[in-house]
Structure 1
């Protein structure tokens, strides 16, 4: 039998082996090509060139326009509101009657006191008439006569005493003149005592009734003053901002009835979170934004006052927050807008500011284990750089170290393809 079929079969087997090796080599080349393609392909990124600028941190809060000159009007008496003559928004002039509080009981008390006062005055006249002024005058005359007689008795005694010393008068005459002097002295004392008694009786009656009269008059003046307070009036020209009472309400001393203020002089009151006020001072400038249909009108304001202590304010979400009341004066009037007390505005307060510093957008930063980093384009390749940040503004963050002006940072640091040394474009 010929051997060529056997040789032929062996050749076929060798060809099959060669084809397998060829296919394997081609596959390997394809894989290596793909790997090479991926290795040399650049990742498409967005970059930001570091430059020096101002970094400003602000907070936005809702404020309210309030009158710069307001007055709360309180009730000074107890009673029922009989009538109310104004409502919120009404213009009033100084002295205008705002409300009347019923004081019917006061009228009764005033009438009673007036009656008692008249009674006391009548009793006083009756009592004083019992000690007639003529009696006092007659007694004063008696005192004067007794004193004249006493003077004569003294002169007679001295004359007889001298004569007795010269032997021209007897002892009996001297004793008689001395006895007459003693009698006249006693008469003067009795007359003066009687006069003092009359005057004392008159004065005592006067003081007694005068005290009663003054006491009643003082109480009467107090009640009349209370009655006058039942008529509640405006102490200034202005607008009624709030009306807290209505007809029929029971009020007591200290009850708030109305708030009246000026519409012309206004200010802004806004509550700012306590932690945001650490570097804010009076005199700092703020932005005040009036939101009107179709546009926002922005004007400048200046912080006039910062409350010394925080207040607990309940947020719109029902969360208690410690906030500080800030008062802002407008530096200019918004064009074409009436500033009405009660209107709400947006207040933009600058809490921190770094001037002319290197800065990058917030989205360029990422953190790892409490440290801040950025991706930087280093000659077309990605590199991670550790940075130290400063003031964090609304859009930018101050870079204190790690970058310099002109460096290009990546704005999409969380791309999954990014790794050290990879080509970027």
Structure 2
């Protein structure tokens, strides 16, 4: 490769180091001239992945609630007045027709007496008008009075009769109002709230006592937004009391609110349960749901989700490389996510190693899935041989 213009050889032991240096330099130059650039090995990351499929998903949920009466009556007096007696306390069991509270009846009794006096007066006037009409009818038959005078007496009698009927109606109304001084229970039940006390003046219709009807009970629960559509179609559920979780009661969803509660942002549902002596108002209960989604769903493990700038995404494998695809999570089923949009059945999604990937990253799939992808397997073998 090169020529030495002058090479001075000296005899003896002093010439050996010089010869060794020259030989080493020549060897280094030869190797440098013959070397080629190193082959760059492509970075291929091993990942685990699944092929997506859609199917009806079993959905189970447990939601806690409270046992409440199905029918609650807010009772109030039909007339206004001052409360003079309260006959029941909260928690008292009452029967239909039982007196709950009483108003001061004096004013009502005076009004009734006034109506009675008015009725008697109108009846007296009517009787007088009727007798006078009878006399004028006799006089008319003898032509002692004209027909016009008789007609006037007849009109007077009819007006007096109308006054009597009006007075009778007024008296009946006042008699009813006197009876309204006592507030009666309209059904058998339990007193759950007292809204007014003795000495308080209340207006007509103002609630003073709350009574829960006996027998019919239900559990009120709040369904989260992500489960309401799935659970809306469920009818039969199992209800377990916190005080006795081993015993399950059959329940039926009677009603699901069409709008979310403004405070809790949940949809209120009412579950009817059979009447049982050990089920008491105010108890905590757990409602267990078990159903399937109405339409096929795509589900992936929780580990497949990758958050990029607050956007839920998954890594989709195509041609041995990955790309980031935004998705919409529709719900949770156990340890899996239900994807509402973004991917479709048949696509391959990475389920492990998602935080180590970048768009366009070459990957090799580990596990049993590798055998079903010959092109990816061949690439993995080639890379392994190169290494």
**TM-score scaled to structure 1, two decimals?**
0.58
SS at match of 1:305: strand
- Structure 1 match to 2:278: 338
Q: Which residue of 1 aligns with 2:94?
A: 92
Call closer, same or farther: CA 1:290–1:80 in 2, change over 3 Å: farther
The whole-number CA distance in structure 2 between the counterparts of 1:408 and 1:207 is 95
Alignment RMSD:
5.4
2:351 maps to which residue?
Answer: 410
Aligned to 1:245: 196
1:117-156 equivalence runs, <5 A: 117-118=119-120
Q: How does 1:247-262 map to 2 (within 5 A)?
A: 247-262=198-213
Shift of 1:397: 3.5
Which residue in the other structure is 1:314 paired with? 263
For the pair shown, which has the larger CA radius of gyration, 1 or 2?
A: 1
When residues 414 and 352 of structure 1 are mapped into structure 2, their CA distance, relative to the original with a 3 A threshold, is farther
Query: Retained in 2: the 8 A contact 1:269–1:328?
Result: yes
1:49–1:409 CA contact under 8 A, matched in 2: no
In 2 relative to 1, CA 73–80 (structure 1 residues): closer, same or farther, beyond 3 Å? same
Greater RCO (Cα-Cα under 8 Å, separation 6 or more): 1
- Asked if the contact 2:77/2:205 (under 8 Å) is kept, the reply is yes
Q: Which has the higher helix share?
A: 1
C-alpha distance in structure 2 between counterparts of 1:205 and 1:285, whole Å: 70
The change in CA–CA distance for 1:296 and 1:4 in structure 2 (over 3 A counts) is farther
Displacement of 1:305 after TM fit? 3.4
Q: Distance in 2 between matches of 1:296 and 1:415?
A: 47
Q: Secondary structure at the match of 1:401?
A: coil
Residue 191 (structure 1) shift: 1.7
Gaps of 5+ in 2: 1-9, 29-37, 368-387
State the partner residue of 2:302: 362
Post-superposition Cα deviations, 1:265-292, rounded to whole Å, max 9, x if no partner, equal: 22334454678655665x6236455451
SS of the residue corresponding to residue 142 of structure 2 reads: helix
Structure-1 separation of matches of 2:234 and 2:282 = 24
Note the residue ranges of structure 1 that are not aligned, 5 or more in a row: 22-31, 144-188, 316-320
Shift of 1:244: 2.2
1:285 maps onto 2:226 in alignment = no
Partner residue in 2 for 1:104: 106
2: CA distance, partners of 1:274 / 1:393:
9
TM-score under structure 2 length normalisation = 0.62
Cα distance in 1, alignment partners of residues 53 and 229 from structure 2: 28
Classify 1:373/1:112 alpha carbon distance in 2 versus 1 (closer, same or farther; 3 Å). Answer: closer
Which residue of structure 1 lines up, in the alignment, with residue 218 of structure 2? 267
Q: Which residue of 2 aligns with 1:73?
A: 75
